[in-house]
Structure 1
Amino acid sequence: MASFQKIERLVEYLLWNSRRAMFLAVIACMVAFFTVLFMTVIDLFHVVIPVLKRIFSLEFTTDASQLHEETLKHVVGLVDSFLVAIFLLLFAYGLYELFVSELDPARKDIKSGGATMVLGLLPIRNLDDLKSNLVKVITAILIVTLFEHAVAVDVNTPVELVYFAATILLVALALYVVHLATNLRLIRGEAGSHNEVSPAPPDGKSRAG
């Protein structure tokens, strides 16, 4: 029996401390974050340079509709890439807060008044907090991706126009559902804080006046 208790304590110790292995996932997400961020910044220069060349060469007489369309589409794609970088940063932040440790520098800055809530995330108390923030970013990524393809869409028939309008309606509905879910979550959180059991009055003191 004593040997089984030793094995049980060993397994519990390994199980509890194995959560820190998620630090490897945090590092991987941070590497992916910086990779996507740097690639997006480089792509931004590739988009800006042709426009700057046109401005400095004073080529305002030629048709620039194609350049305008390509630039707009690429800029929307860059916004999408920045959102993907934000998603990776949020995921790394949430994994670190939940499985490794709290971000002490961020909390010290907030307590001292030197910083506001980091990305509006502090604190991530459970997986629901992480999921709520990730869902918002994923929704934004999908909307921007849809907008990126919608820029190049040519509506030629009334049916295509109906499809396009239905797509916009579905996007609006998705935003409404996300907003509604966030409000319900906040209301439940406030209700839970108000329903906490208050401490009992000390003995010998009557509640009556």
Structure 2
Amino acid sequence: MRKQTGIQPGRIERRLERAIWKFRLITLIPVVMSLIGSISCFVIGTYAQLSVLSHVLQGRFNETYSTRLVGQVVGSIDYYLIGIALLIFGYGIYELVIADMDLRQQETTVLKRNLLNIDSLDGLKQKLTKVIVVALIVTAFKAMVGFEVSTVPELLMFCGGVLMLSFSAWLLGQSGNH
């Protein structure tokens, strides 16, 4: 004879499912941290831009120094792109794991779409990959701004770098068509 505990198997399962469902809220940690990181990157990029603007307005630049200033401007764009990648990551994780967040559409319809149209982890990866590749292209451009060409092999390396950057940009454009 089986001893009855008074708890039905269906109730245990429902409680466990509720606990597991609530556990998804742990993803709020990376969401909040990525949003804080995004803000940090935007602040650092803005500081770099303001620093360049300060030097320009004070007239403290010459031919060599202006190349460094252009490098700083391009570097600040890198910070902005990393901030955007963090923003996309935080927003995408929130929408995938926790809830849709579209304040523009208050009614709940079947056709309701999230802001980034991220339906899967693969979609989030694709959007992040595009932003990261663009950030890498900008970083390469920053390095190329100060690159001095004095020999034929250096010129060939420079041209090869430009070709690879162009090919990367073309591939990004092609991935948007599929």
| Aligned counterpart, 2:152 | 158
Give the TM-score normalised by the residue count of structure 1: 0.71
With normalisation by structure 2, the TM-score equals 0.82
Deviation at 1:125, TM superposition (A): 1.2
1:84: Cα distance to partner?
A: 0.8
Q: 1:76 aligns with which of 74, 77, 80?
A: 74
Q: Mapping of 1:51-70 within 5 angstroms?
A: 51-54=56-59, 64-70=62-68
Q: 1:108 to 1:9 in 2, by over 3 A?
A: closer
Aligned equivalents of 1:7 and 1:157: distance in 2?
Answer: 75
Consecutive unaligned residues of structure 2, counting only runs of 5 or more, are: none
1:186-201 to 2 correspondences below 5 Å: none
Task: Tell me the distance in 2 between the aligned counterparts of 1:174 and 1:108.
Answer: 39
Aligned residue for 1:104, secondary structure, equals coil
**Percent of aligned pairs sharing the same letter:** 29
Amino acid aligned to 2:119:
R
Residues 1:147 and 2:145 are matched in the alignment: no
Corresponding residue for residue 175 of structure 2: 181
Residue identity matched to 1:169: L
Note closer, same or farther for the CA distance 1:73–1:11 as it changes in structure 2 (3 Å cut): same
**Who is 1:199 aligned against?**
none
Which structure would you say has the larger Rg? Answer: 1
Contact 2:48/2:73 (8 A) holds in 1: no
* Alignment deviations for residues 116-164 of structure 1 (CA, whole Å, 9 cap, x no partner): x95xx2x211112211211110011000000000011111211111111
Structure 1 window deviating more from structure 2 (135-144 vs 34-43): it is 34-43
Match of 1:107 in 2: 105
Choose from 105, 122, 129 the match for 1:128. 122
How far the C-alpha of 1:4 sits from its partner, in A, is 6.3
| Secondary structure class of the residue paired with 1:105 | coil
Runs of 5+ unmatched residues, structure 1: 112-116, 185-209
Tell me, in whole angstroms, the C-alpha distance in 2 between the residues paired with 1:3 and 1:166.
Answer: 70
Q: CA deviation at 1:90?
A: 0.7
Classify the secondary structure of the residue corresponding to 1:183: coil
SS of alignment partner, residue 155 of structure 1: coil
What letter corresponds to residue 45 of structure 2 in structure 1? T
The C-alpha deviation readout for 1:16-58, integer Å capped at 9, x for no partner, is 322221112111111111111112212222111111011xxxx
